[in-house]
Structure 1
Amino acid sequence: MSQDQGRLPPQFWSAPAMAAALAECDIPAVLAEVQRANGWTQGQLAEAVGYSQSWVSKVVRNRQPLTVDQVREISIRIGVPLHLLRFGARGDDDPTKRRDFGKAVALTALTALPLPRRAEVDETTAPTLTSITGAQRRLEATTPARELARGAVAHVNLANRILGRAGRSDFAGDIRAVMSEAAGFAAWVHADMHDTGTSRTYYRLAIGSARQAEHSLLAAYMIGSLAAFEIDTDDSVLALGLLTQARRELGERPPATARAWLFSIEALGHATVHDAPAALTALRQAESAVVASERASAPPWPWVFPFDHAKLAGYRALVMVRLGRADEAVAAFAESLSSVQPAAKQRGVLMTEIAAAKAMSGEHYEAFHLASNALTVGVTYGSERTIQRVRRFRRTYDGPMTADVRAFDEHLRATLL
């Protein structure tokens, strides 16, 4: 809308209702009169003054306090004659006195407006909170978990307080979904710190919040994430039960991407308890789901990732390591890494898995070289999860005590001390 559009004739500003509104610096009344005279919608009024519709709505309802600069800016945009901004200097021709009088009247009128209230929840609140979680996730790839944990917890608490203000409004469901995502990230950060108890607490909060939001896909994702966490902490039986629950959350027609991811986690769970037939069956089901997801016109799983053949190859590699199939594991790792370059901390985890495959193949030098590098990654990025993976690799190694193994043990002792 150009600045000349909606310009009103001079007599409009001297009409009794408008004159009274200008005298009292009643900007809500001024805006309402301008909107009525132009036949504008509130959206068109917002465009004219250069602010959002939600902000203008709060001003009109006397719920948005204004600064003197904002009063001046709005007045210029809607064409209030400049001399009226002095708020009637009552015949005093001294420019300095007129300016002081104008400021005094403006400030007096502004103090008569309702005091600022706590920010209300509106359509911008959930996207803003979600963007914070997204920024934290991007930082997580290369930032020690302990540096992120306090902020992650604070963000969950902030979302919870805002949810309290949302009450039963139309935005409450979106805020609950936001809190689920924030809690899921807090769970992940604490898992990286190897604080399993706190991690489980936040996963439970994430699942409960998603269910309260009636967001079945989000609930299934959080349950699947908890299942992957339980596999990592050596409780695959519990994890497999959680995966059954995740599928139940998704209903009868789950997205293909969700099915591919859940079957991949299931394959890993079966492999961890050395059930090769079940693990291989789950991998085949995951493969079929990946193919189906490529044919689907729907976008990839929201706020997560596209689950493609490279992702599946990474899971296949982990499954083969647990099943003791070294050659297949190395080939799957090669396929996965040719398409996907993992972030630093994830690279440390993968190096321990490849080290295990190399050790099974008798390539001890390569195995312990990889494990030593993974240990360095874990220490550098403060990832207890990576360090624990490296320690697990060492505990399960039963090969010869070579010079490479002794050098690795020295590196591990130095790290722990």
Structure 2
Amino acid sequence: MGVGIALARKHRAAATEEPDDELLASITSPTESYRRMEASVSSQHLAPAAEGHLRLLKRVVRAKLHAPRGFAALSEVAGFSAWIAADRGDTALARARYQESVRFAESARNPLLVSYMMGSLGHFAVEIGDPHQGVRLLDKAARQLDKSSPVAARAWLASLRAVAFGALRDRAAMSEALTAAERLADRRPGQAQWPWMFAFTSAKVARYQCSALAKYGDLSAARNVYSTTVPSMTAPKPQALVKIEYALLLAEKGHHDEAAELGAQALWVGKQYDSERIVSHVRTLRSKLPDHSREVEDLDQMLTTLYDEDQW
């Protein structure tokens, strides 16, 4: 009996040790590489790699890395898989993967990671048309942070909240969130960044500001931000998303030809990179446009060729 107790204690002690650093680095590096590729590589190509890596990592964590840092690695790859699923238009899988990422972050006992994954889920809810649930989740994400949290984390969450409040047409809350994001961006550049997130700069705040203003419906302000934000963006997919958000606002305000032209530009990127997220937004845009203009006819032709691969 004494030997059994000793073995049990030894097993519990081993289970709480930090995992092997070399193995951990090996299993986390692909996730970082996938994140860097995502903005300019087809989601169709990345999805199998992300899902396969998630399956592999689940087995490795269960067998060898059943410790906080192992669960943190799982959370990161599940969150990335969710993003790719959302880009491909699979909202059910995206929601499931985001929920997994939150659970794994909680198992990692890392409030900052929980905040990031819950905030990502909240932004996803806003983007699929459920801003009330998005705000609720973003509020929960914010409660995970404290004064010691990186300013990049707080700037990022403030930007997401601005977009959510823009969708709810709450100008006061949107403006307050944007002010907080602008105040926090670019502060403490030497501060350690989240390992799963790039530095959060004022340029990124401007990108979310454009989205928030477009969802709110302020054409004048959105036009000013758009004119300075888009030229500075080099990654095709994020740039196309900004264009289509702005185009939807233009269509709402009666600028149909300009909206159709931007929609055609975004659609080309969406098709090239297999982003159903972008393509779906373009379809929504087309439903808000009238017939009988050259720009709208060009957009219609491009939408028609979605069903004829030989045309691309």
Measured in 1, the distance between the counterparts of 2:188 and 2:64 equals 40
Q: Which amino acid aligns with 1:384?
A: E
Q: Which amino acid aligns with 2:28?
A: T
Q: For residue 209 of structure 2, what is the aligned residue in structure 1?
A: 316
Measured in 2, the distance between the counterparts of 1:382 and 1:280 equals 34
In our comparison, the structure showing a higher alpha carbon Rg is 1
Deviation at 1:328, TM superposition (A): 1.2
Contact kept? 1:310, 1:335, Cα under 8 Å? no
Deviation at 1:235, TM superposition (A): 0.5
Q: For residue 341 of structure 1, what is the aligned residue in structure 2?
A: 233
Q: 1:382 to 1:167 in 2, by over 3 A?
A: closer
Deviation at 1:395, TM superposition (A): 2.6
Q: Which amino acid aligns with 1:193?
A: R
Q: For residue 220 of structure 2, what is the aligned residue in structure 1?
A: 327
Q: For residue 160 of structure 2, what is the aligned residue in structure 1?
A: 265
Measured in 2, the distance between the counterparts of 1:143 and 1:314 equals 20
Q: Which amino acid aligns with 1:406?
A: E
Correspondence 1:386-405 to 2 at 5 A: 386-397=278-289, 401-405=292-296
* Count of residues in correspondence between the two structures: 290
More helix by share: 2
What residue ranges of structure 2 are gaps of 5+ in the alignment?
1-18
Q: For residue 151 of structure 2, what is the aligned residue in structure 1?
A: 256
Deviation at 1:358, TM superposition (A): 4.0
What residue ranges of structure 1 are gaps of 5+ in the alignment?
1-120
Q: 1:146 to 1:355 in 2, by over 3 A?
A: same
- Report SS of the residue matched to 1:294: coil
Measured in 1, the distance between the counterparts of 2:115 and 2:237 equals 25
Q: Which amino acid aligns with 2:262?
A: L
RCO higher in structure (CA 8 A, sep ≥6): 2
- Report SS of the residue matched to 1:261: helix
State the identity %: 33
Deviation at 1:167, TM superposition (A): 5.8
Deviation at 1:232, TM superposition (A): 0.7
Contact kept? 2:115, 2:145, Cα under 8 Å? yes
Q: In the alignment, does 2:39 pair up with 1:148?
A: no
Deviation at 1:360, TM superposition (A): 5.2
Deviation at 1:333, TM superposition (A): 1.8
Q: Deviations over 1:180-222 (max 9, x none)?
A: 1111111111111110011111111111111111111111111
Correspondence 1:348-387 to 2 at 5 A: 348-359=240-251, 362-387=254-279
Q: Which amino acid aligns with 1:299?
A: A
Q: For residue 306 of structure 2, what is the aligned residue in structure 1?
A: 415
Deviation at 1:359, TM superposition (A): 3.8
Correspondence 1:2-401 to 2 at 5 A: 122-166=20-64, 172-290=67-185, 293-295=186-188, 297-338=190-231, 340-359=232-251, 362-397=254-289, 401=292
Deviation at 1:412, TM superposition (A): 1.4
- Report SS of the residue matched to 2:187: helix
Measured in 2, the distance between the counterparts of 1:327 and 1:400 equals 25
Q: Deviations over 1:344-379 (max 9, x none)?
A: 222221221232344456543332111111111111
Q: 1:355 to 1:258 in 2, by over 3 A?
A: same
Q: Which amino acid aligns with 2:36?
A: R
Q: 1:396 to 1:362 in 2, by over 3 A?
A: closer
- Report SS of the residue matched to 1:124: helix
Q: 1:311 to 1:167 in 2, by over 3 A?
A: closer
Q: Which amino acid aligns with 1:405?
A: V
Contact kept? 2:87, 2:277, Cα under 8 Å? yes
Q: 1:385 to 1:251 in 2, by over 3 A?
A: same
- So what's the TM-score if we normalise by structure 2? 0.86
Contact kept? 1:155, 1:182, Cα under 8 Å? yes
Measured in 1, the distance between the counterparts of 2:241 and 2:269 equals 9
- So what's the TM-score if we normalise by structure 1? 0.65
Q: Larger deviation: 198-207 or 350-359?
A: 350-359
CA-based RMSD of the aligned residues comes to 2.0
Measured in 1, the distance between the counterparts of 2:298 and 2:191 equals 51
- Report SS of the residue matched to 2:200: coil
